[in-house]
Amino acid sequence: MNTKRLQETDVEIFNAIAMEKIRQNEHLELIASENFVSPAVMEAVGSVLTNKYAEGYPKRRYYGGCEHIDAVEQLAIDRARQLFGAEHVNVQPHSGSQANAAVYAAVLRPGDKILTLSIENGGHLTHGHPKNSSGMLYDVVHYGLVNGTDRIDYDQMRDLAEREHPRLITIGASAYSRAIDFELVAEIAHSNGAMVLADIAHIAGLVAVGLHGSPVPHCEFVTTTTHKTLRGPRGGMIMCKEKFAQIIDASVFPGTQGGPLEHVIAGKAVCFLEALRPEFKQYQAQIIGNAAALAGAMLARGYHVVTGGTDNHLMLIDLRTVHGNVTGKDAQVALERANVTTNKNTVPHETRSPFLASGIRLGTPAVTTRGMREKEMLKIADLIAMILSHMDDESVAEDVRKEVLRLCAEFPLPY
C-alpha cells in the first residue's frame, strides 16, 4: 500500500507502522488469536469507506448516501450466512467483546444468572469476569474442567444448570485446545430452560469449513471475532436464529453501538469470500495439522501440554513440570528476545497470579498463513525448547533469533 503521504504528514506514525511491519515480518507469530490478513482485506479496511456514517442497517439508515455502503454490508451478511449456515447475521459489532455484550443486553436483565467457563479455566473476560461488565451486571456461576483430564466438565455444567437455573449458558474459550460439544451444551441448556451463547471467536475458521462441529444449528446465539482463525479484519459478528433477529439488531444498534465501521465490514465481506473458497479448508486443515505437530514435538521434549494435546489451532504448555522456576511471563520475555512471540497464560490448577502465570499459549494460525508446515513446527519446537532451557544465555538467544530470521525470510509476508 502506498504510504508516501502518511510519511509526509506524520513521520512518527509512519515510522511506528514501518517498524511494526518489520516486527511482523521478522518474528514467529505464535499468539493463538492473531493472524495475517490478505492484501485484499487490508485494502478494503484502508478504503474510503472509513469516511461514511451509516447508523442503521442496509436500506434502513439514518444518513443519506448509503447506497454503496448498503451493498457492502449486505454482501458481508449474505456471505457470512452462507459460510456458517446461519439464519440471521449482524456484522456490525466492533469486536468479540461488543458482540457478547450485545447478546447479553438483548436477552438478560441485570441480575439474571449466566453459567460460564471462567477465564482461569480457558474462558474469556466477557464470560463473567468480575472486572468485566458481564461479571458486574449478571449473576455469574462457573462450570469448570474435569480434574485429571482438564476437559470441559459437561456433567458439572448439567448439575449447575439443574440447580442454578441460569437464563443463559455461555460456551467457548480463549485457551482450550479440545473440541467442544455444542450439541450437548444446547441439550443441557434447553432441558433446563436456558439459552446458549456459543462464542467461537477462536475456532471460527475451523467451524466455517466443517473441521470443528458447528454450534449454529444448536445454539440460539453464536458470536465470533473475524480476525483469528477466520483471518479477516479485527472485528466481531453475531449469528442467531431468525426469531431473535430483531432484538439482536436493536441490541447492537442503537443498544450498544452507534455508527458501524463500514471499512471493517468491507474487510469482513472479503474475508468471508476468501473463506468460502476451497483453499480455505486446506488452510484450516493445515492449521490443525501444524498444531498437532507442534504439540507432539513439545510432548516429545517432556513438556506438559494441557489435556495431553490439541484438536484445534492452539495448545497450552504448563511449564511447571520441566522448568519449575520459569514463569509464563519469564518465558514470554525470553522467547520475545529471540523473535518468537507468544503470550503467558494461566493453566489449570494455577499457582501463580495471572501477571506471572505458569504457562504459555501457542497457536499456529499465523505461521500457517505464512506457509509453514509440519517440518517447520518441529523446528519451532526445537527453538522454543532451546530458549526455555537456556533462559539467561544471550548467545543461545542470538542463535535462535538467527534461525527465526532465516525461517521468516523463507516464508515472507505479502506486505
CB of 36 to ligand DSN, least distance (A): 16
96 counts as binding ligand DSN under rule CB under 6 A: yes
CB of 239 to ligand DSN, least distance (A): 18
Q: Is 12 a catalytic residue?
A: no
**Residues of this chain, 323-382, that bind ligand DSN according to CB under 6 A:** none
CB of 33 to ligand DSN, least distance (A): 3
Instruction: Rank residues 33 and 118 by Cβ distance to ligand DSN and give the closer one.
Output: 33
CB of 228 to ligand DSN, least distance (A): 7
CB of 124 to ligand DSN, least distance (A): 6
**30, 33, 45, 334: which one binds ligand DSN (CB under 6 A):** 33
**Which of 234, 320, 361, 370 is flagged as catalytic?**
234
Q: Is 112 a catalytic residue?
A: no
The interface mask with ligand DSN, positions 108-127, x = CB under 6 A, is ----------------x---
Instruction: Rank residues 41 and 201 by Cβ distance to ligand DSN and give the closer one.
Output: 201
229 counts as binding ligand DSN under rule CB under 6 A: no
Place of cell 446458549: 196
The rounded distance, in Å, linking the Cα atoms of 3 and 13 is 11
**Which of 116, 126, 225, 307 is flagged as catalytic?**
225
Nearest residue to ligand DSN, scored by beta-carbon proximity: 33
Q: Is 406 a catalytic residue?
A: no
3 state SS for the chain: CCCHHHHHHCHHHHHHHHHHHHHHHHCEECCCCCCCCCHHHHHHHCCHHHHCCCCEECCEECCCCCHHHHHHHHHHHHHHHHHHCCCEEECCCCCHHHHHHHHHHHHCCCCCEEEEECHHHCCCCCCCCCCCHHHHHCEEEEECECCCCCCECHHHHHHHHHHHCCCEEEECCCCCCCCCCHHHHHHHHHCCCCEEEEECCCCHHHHHCCCCCCCCCCCCEEEEECCCCCCCCCCEEEEECHHHHHHHHHHHHHHHCCCCCHHHHHHHHHHHHHHCCHHHHHHHHHHHHHHHHHHHHHHHCCCEEHHHCCCCCEEEEECCCCCCCCCHHHHHHHHHHCCEECEEECCCCCCCCCCCCCEEEEECHHHHHCCCCHHHHHHHHHHHHHHHHCCCCHHHHHHHHHHHHHHHHHCCCCC
CA dist list (Å): 148 to 136, 155, 307, 318, 348: 31, 15, 8, 14, 10
Instruction: Rank residues 174 and 327 by Cβ distance to ligand DSN and give the closer one.
Output: 174
CB of 233 to ligand DSN, least distance (A): 15
**Which of 167, 178, 228, 320 is flagged as catalytic?**
228
Instruction: Rank residues 166 and 365 by Cβ distance to ligand DSN and give the closer one.
Output: 365
Instruction: Rank residues 96 and 135 by Cβ distance to ligand DSN and give the closer one.
Output: 96
Instruction: Rank residues 116 and 174 by Cβ distance to ligand DSN and give the closer one.
Output: 174
Q: Is 234 a catalytic residue?
A: yes
The number of residues that bind ligand DSN (CB under 6 A) is 4
**Which of 153, 199, 350, 403 is flagged as catalytic?**
199
The interface mask with ligand DSN, positions 154-183, x = CB under 6 A, is --------------------x---------
CB of 404 to ligand DSN, least distance (A): 21
CB of 168 to ligand DSN, least distance (A): 19
**Which of 53, 112, 120, 281 is flagged as catalytic?**
53
CA dist list (Å): 15 to 20, 29, 39, 183: 8, 21, 20, 49
**Which of 34, 43, 55, 393 is flagged as catalytic?**
55
The rounded distance, in Å, linking the Cα atoms of 215 and 106 is 19
Q: Is 59 a catalytic residue?
A: no
Q: Is 55 a catalytic residue?
A: yes
Which sequence positions are flagged as catalytic? Answer: 53, 55, 199, 225, 228, 234
Binding interface with ligand DSN (CB under 6 A):
33, 96, 124, 174
